[in-house]
Chain A
Amino acid sequence: AQKVTQAQTEISVVEKEDVTLDCVYETRDTTYYLFWYKQPPSGELVFLIRRNSFDEQNEISGRYSWNFQKSTSSFNFTITASQVVDSAVYFCALQIYNFNKFYFGSGTKLNVKP
C-alpha cells in the first residue's frame, strides 16, 4: 500500500527564518515519483517539483530546496529566508509509475510572520 505522511500539521516562523517541511512516504514499488505542491489562501494547488525514484540528487530552485533520501523514504522541502508570501499549505504527493493516482499527504500549513 502507498502512503504519504506529513507529520507537521502547522508551522509558524518569523520572516527570514529557514524552515523545513517533512514528507515521509511508503511504497513497495521501485519506480515512483514524488511531488510538492503549494496551496496559497486563494485555493489553487501550484505545482513546485517532481522527482523520480532513481534521481536522489538534491534540487535547489531559488530559496527552495528539496532533499530526497530513499534510505529514509523522505522527500523534505526547505525554504531559505522565508517570506510572508510563502505562507500556504504545502502538500507532498506520491505517484506510482504507470498509475494515474496520486497519494497525497495531509498537508503542512506554513505561517510566515513579518
Chain B
Amino acid sequence: DVKVTQSSRYLVKRTGEKVFLECVQDMDHENMFWYRQDPGLGLRLIYFSYDVKMKEKGDIPEGYSVSREKKERFSLILESASTNQTSMYLCASSLGSGRADTQYFGPGTRLTVL
C-alpha cells in the first residue's frame, strides 16, 4: 500500500512566522503535490514536483514555496504566514508514468494562522 505521511495533523502559527509542512511518501513515486482545501472550493493545487529539485506552480502558488531535495520528501513553505493561509493542506503522490496516475493522499495538516 502507498503510504503518504504528513508531519503534523494540526498546527497553530502566528502571522509572519515561517512555516514548514513536510510530506513523505514511501512508494518511490516521481510526482508529489501540495493542495489546500477550503469549504466550498474543493482542492486547489499549490505546487507540484515531477522529480527531485523540479517543481511547477499550480493554481495558487502565491505566498508559498516548495522544496524537493530527496525523492520521497516534498516540503511546503509559507515564507511569512498570513491569516488567509489558514486552511487544510493535503499532500499527494503519484507514480509518474504520466498517463493515468492515481494520486494518493496523506492525512492532511490543518493549519491555523493567528
Instruction: Mark A residues whose CB is within 8 Å of B.
Output: 9, 33, 35, 37, 42-47, 50, 52, 91, 95, 97-102, 104-107
CB-CB under 8 A from B88, the residues of chain A are: 43
CB atoms of B94 and A43 under 8 A apart:
no
Interface of chain B residues 36 through 57 with chain A (CB within 8 A): 40-43, 45, 48, 50
With A44-B107, A95-B101 in contact, is A104–B43 under 8 Å at CB?
A: yes
The reply on B70 being an interface residue by CB < 8 A is no
Chain A interface mostly helix, strand, loop or mixed? loop
Task: Point out which of B9, B31, B45, B110 has the most chain A C-beta atoms below 10 A from its C-beta.
Answer: B45
CB-CB under 8 A from B9, the residues of chain A are: 43
CB atoms of B102 and A101 under 8 A apart:
no
With A33-B100, A100-B31, A100-B48 in contact, is A44–B42 under 8 Å at CB?
A: no
Contact pick for B90, options A35, A45, A50, A95, CB 8 Å: A45
CB-CB under 8 A from B103, the residues of chain A are: 47, 102
With A43-B88, A44-B105, A45-B105 in contact, is A100–B42 under 8 Å at CB?
A: no
13 examples of A-B residue contacts, CB within 8 angstroms: A9-B40, A37-B105, A44-B107, A47-B102, A47-B104, A91-B43, A95-B101, A100-B31, A100-B33, A100-B48, A102-B43, A106-B41, A106-B42
